[in-house]
Amino acid sequence: RIVVFGSTNMDLVAYARRAPARGETVAGHAFRTIPGGKGANQAVAAARAGGEVALVGAVGSDDFGYRLRDTLEHCSVDTDLLRTVEGPSGTAHIVVDDEGGNSIVVVPGANGTVTSLSHGDEALITGADLLLLQLELPLSAVVDAAAHARRHGVRTVLTPAPAQPLPPELFDATDLLVPNEHEAAVLTGRVDPHAAALALLDVVPEVVVTLGAAGCLYAARGADLLAVPAPRVRAVDTTAAGDTFVGALAVALGEGRPVPDALAWASAAAALSVRREGASTSMPYRAEIEAALGT
């Protein structure tokens, strides 16, 4: 079983020719509300890839909260320990311009109330095979969850996003770190992903740096760097490619597959997701990943 300790957000997306400058109003041509948040996205990706998944976090007492929970349940994610707290759900206010660029304001809302673990949360984590973490919940709680998992021999997989410097306690409790190129640079001060991956081995035992269309790099202590190319696809929407990658990777690792196989599986899943619009709606099901790999 995979437990995700992470965020749920409703993405409120306005599409406009260009984003407004300060004090300016521009006309948009479309609007969508899309369930998201890195925690929820990774949970849905793992569930679609065939994992048994539970999400620990919080939604608000507003309409968005109902919809976020409902979406997760429809995707077979266990939400028994997803709390509903008084007040607004997490929201991301996004403007996408006609060149595909975006500007985003994230308001944590209910996510910001997850400052500690309940006994129930701890018991769920103790019984898991893997714990997936990101940085959209309060950092102290992320550290507590990772440390709890580590104490009970549960493998921890951390996506260090949004990019920020991390406390040593969090590195100490991380088994596998999965930054993208930008996050790896922020954590290490090294722009070259090879150098960044090797530098990160000083603080965690295993690292995967994702490189967008260029695939990913895997580094482990005492082993050679492994570069895994991404399947060539026509990219339509790369939103949540990284979350799809991590969710699928967790399923493969949870099934005890060797790392090179697990990375090929995760790359196939992420490539499928960028061929379609949307975040969670673009994530592939297990049969689609198997078909793409010819297995």
Catalytic residue set: 243
Is 111 marked as a binding-site residue?
no
Site string for ligand ADP, 143-182 (x = CB under 6 A): -------------------------------------x--
Q: Which is nearer to ligand ADP, 108 or 215 (CB)?
A: 215
Is 278 marked as a binding-site residue?
yes
Segment contacting ligand ADP by CB under 6 A, of 18-26, 67-75, 108-116, 204-212: 204-212
Question: Residue 210: how many CA atoms within 13 Å on its side-chain side?
Answer: 28
Residue for token pair 């992420």: 270
Q: What is the DSSP string of 211-271?
A: -GGG-EEEEETTS--EEEPPPP---S--TTHHHHHHHHHHHHHHTT--HHHHHHHHHHHHH
Residue 93: both structure tokens together: 């206010």
**Type of residue numbered 84:** T
Q: Does 270 bind ligand ADP (CB under 6 A)?
A: yes
Whether the Cβ atoms of residue 17 and residue 99 lie closer than 8 Å to each other: no
Query: Which of 216, 262, 283, 292 is close enough to bind ligand ADP by CB under 6 A?
Result: 216
Q: Supply the minimum distance, in Å, between the C-beta of residue 4 and ligand ADP.
A: 16
Query: Which of 59, 274, 289, 292 is close enough to bind ligand ADP by CB under 6 A?
Result: 274
For residue 89, the 8-state DSSP code is P
Binding site for ligand ADP (CB under 6 A): 180, 210-213, 215-216, 230-231, 233, 235, 238, 241-242, 245, 267, 270-271, 274
